[in-house]
Structure 1
Amino acid sequence: MKSPWISIFYDKENNRTYFYHLKDYKVVEGSYSSQGSLATILSGVVGVVLYSLLRHYLLTLSTTFLVISSVISGLVISVILVFVVDKIISGNFQGRQVSLEHIPASFFKEGAKQFNKQLRIVIVLLLLALICSYLLYDSNGELILFFITILSWILPTFVLAFLRPFKRKKMYALYKKNQLLIENGGL
């Protein structure tokens, strides 16, 4: 990813995420609108409709080929999505600079805890993707399992790409050693 923004901490109370800019050494605050329940309801309805339409269709290819093609398709789709979303974010992200007085040490400490939880979620998602791949391999070539396996590989790859684990761990380690440059001035 080319975006210079790395997430530090998500403040649940104020619905704000704090980011560190790798090149400008600044901490900014970004806010997001929370997802409405309409999107959740629609995704559930779409899932039920797709299942009812596709549950009886079988692909007559070998299951090994289906598993390999579903995993590769999922990974390719997630890489394309990461590049598209990264391009949109890096061009449109506007954050409000935070003064040094408003950047408590707890942001980095709590952010590291949030990051570790997110990594555990990615590991669980990868295990679920492996389980879906096994179920597809063990099936008769069901089309619905093929699509579920593709989706199960998209999600952990996409989430892992935006977590930026290596840069984020390095940032937290530098902060812990008081070596992270933060050049936020007064506002």
Structure 2
Amino acid sequence: MKSPWIPVFYDKKENKNYFYNINEKKFVVGEYSAQNTIVTLLSGTVGVVLYAFLGSFIIKMPTNYLVSLSILLGIFISVLLVIVIDYFSKKSFFGTPISIEKVSSCFEEGEKQLNKNLRIGFWTLLMATLSTVLLYFSNGEAILFFATTLFWMLPIPLFILQRPFKRKKIYALYKKNQLPIENRDF
């Protein structure tokens, strides 16, 4: 990802993402629509239908290949997802500069949020590993295959899109008053 936008904080109450642009040295806000309820209901319905169809289905393949295929498929889909998200975000993101007074609270809350998200990422990685072990010792159950694939899809975008190393760096620079922010006239 070569995007200059570093996520700093997501405000759930206002449904706004705050970003720092490392090239332009600007701190901006991007607004997005709330998650659609129909999408949530549809994904739950698809999950139930898949379980009904594949709950007792057995994949006739050696366990080693099945586990490897599940991991590789999950990683491939997650990398593809990151590439697509990065491509569209470069083309469609325009931020509005915000007042310098709001910056301080965003950095404080953003650092807490990043630590929480990294813990969630760690647990999803742990769940992916556990799911892989369960799949390895199963009879090739299709539902475990898809669950393992899903669990391997989750942690990679979570870590990559959070950009934790760059975020930690800008948080440290901000604490030392060494992060240039050129919103001063706003």
Asked whether the two chains share a fold, i.e. TM above 0.5, the reply is yes
Unpaired runs of 5+ in structure 2? none
The residue that corresponds to 2:140 in the other structure is 141
1:29-40 matches, cutoff 5 A: 29-40=29-40
Cα distance, 1:185 vs structure 2: 3.9
The residue that corresponds to 2:69 in the other structure is 69
Name the count of aligned residue pairs.
186
The 3-state SS of whatever aligns with 2:58 is coil
1:42-81 matches, cutoff 5 A: 42-81=42-81
| CA deviation map 1:145-164 (0-9, x unaligned) | 11111111001111111011
The 3-state SS of whatever aligns with 1:140 is coil
Cα distance, 1:91 vs structure 2: 0.9
CA distance in structure 2 between the partners assigned to 1:136 and 1:184 by the alignment:
52
| CA deviation map 1:132-177 (0-9, x unaligned) | 1111101101122111111110011111110111111111111111
Which range is displaced more, 46-55 or 30-39? 30-39
RMSD: 1.2
Structure 2 counterpart of 1:49, one-letter code: V
CA distance in structure 2 between the partners assigned to 1:13 and 1:77 by the alignment:
31
Cα distance, 1:46 vs structure 2: 0.5
The 3-state SS of whatever aligns with 1:13 is coil
Unpaired runs of 5+ in structure 1? none
- Structure 1's consecutive aligned runs of 4 or more residues displaced over 3 angstroms after TM superposition are none
Structure 1 counterpart of 2:113, one-letter code: Q
The 3-state SS of whatever aligns with 1:186 is coil
- Given the two structures, how large is their TM-score scaled by the length of structure 1? 0.94
The residue that corresponds to 1:99 in the other structure is 99
CA distance in structure 1 between the partners assigned to 2:149 and 2:42 by the alignment:
20
CA distance in structure 1 between the partners assigned to 2:46 and 2:12 by the alignment:
29
CA distance in structure 2 between the partners assigned to 1:72 and 1:165 by the alignment:
24
